[in-house]
Amino acid sequence: MSSNETPRGPVDSSRIPRYAGPATFARLPRLDEVGTADVAVVGVPFDSGVSYRPGARFGGNAIREASRLLRPYNPAQDASPFALAQVADGGDIAVNPFNINEAVETIEAAADDLLGTGARLMTLGGDHTIALPLLRSVAKKHGPVALLHFDAHLDTWDTYFGAEYTHGTPFRRAVEEGILDTSALSHVGTRGPLYGKQDLTDDEKMGFGIVTSADISRRGADEVADQLRQRIGDRPLYISIDIDCLDPAHAPGTGTPEAGGMTSRELLEILRGLASCNLVSADVVEVAPAYDHAEITSVAASHTAYELTTIMSRQIAEARAK
Ligand X SMILES: N=C(N)NCCCC(=O)O
Q: Is 242 in the site for ligand X (CB under 6 A)?
A: yes
∠ CA 296-210-42, rounded to 5° = 45
The reply to whether 247 sits in an annotated binding site is no
The reply to whether 128 sits in an annotated binding site is yes
How far lies 70's CA from each of 34, 49, 192, in Å?
20, 30, 32
Q: How far is the CB of 158 from ligand X (least distance, A)?
A: 11
Among 38, 155, 181, 283, which residue sits at the site for ligand X (rule: CB under 6 A)? 155
∠ CA 42-310-153, rounded to 5° = 65
In the complex with ligand X, the residue whose CB is nearer, 27 or 149, is: 149
Q: How far is the CB of 132 from ligand X (least distance, A)?
A: 12
Q: Which stretch binds Zn ion (CB under 5 A): 69-77, 138-146, 244-252, 311-319?
A: 244-252
Binders of ligand X among residues 248 to 267 (CB under 6 A) are 256
Q: Is 242 in the site for Zn ion (CB under 5 A)?
A: yes
Three-class SS state of 17: coil
Three-class SS state of 15: coil
Quick one: what does residue 52 bind among ligand X, Zn ion, none, with the CB cut-off 5 to 8 Å set by partner type?
Answer: ligand X
The reply to whether 127 sits in an annotated binding site is no
Among 244, 247, 266, 283, which residue sits at the site for ligand X (rule: CB under 6 A)? 244
Q: Is 52 in the site for ligand X (CB under 6 A)?
A: yes
Among 144, 168, 253, 289, which residue sits at the site for ligand X (rule: CB under 6 A)? 168
Three-class SS state of 239: strand
Residue 123 · residue 95 · CB < 8 Å: no
> DSSP label at 287?
-
**143 cis-preceded (ω within 30 degrees of 0):** no
Q: Is 149 in the site for ligand X (CB under 6 A)?
A: no
Residue 122 · residue 282 · CB < 8 Å: yes
Binding site residues, Zn ion, CB under 5 A: 128, 151-153, 155, 242, 244
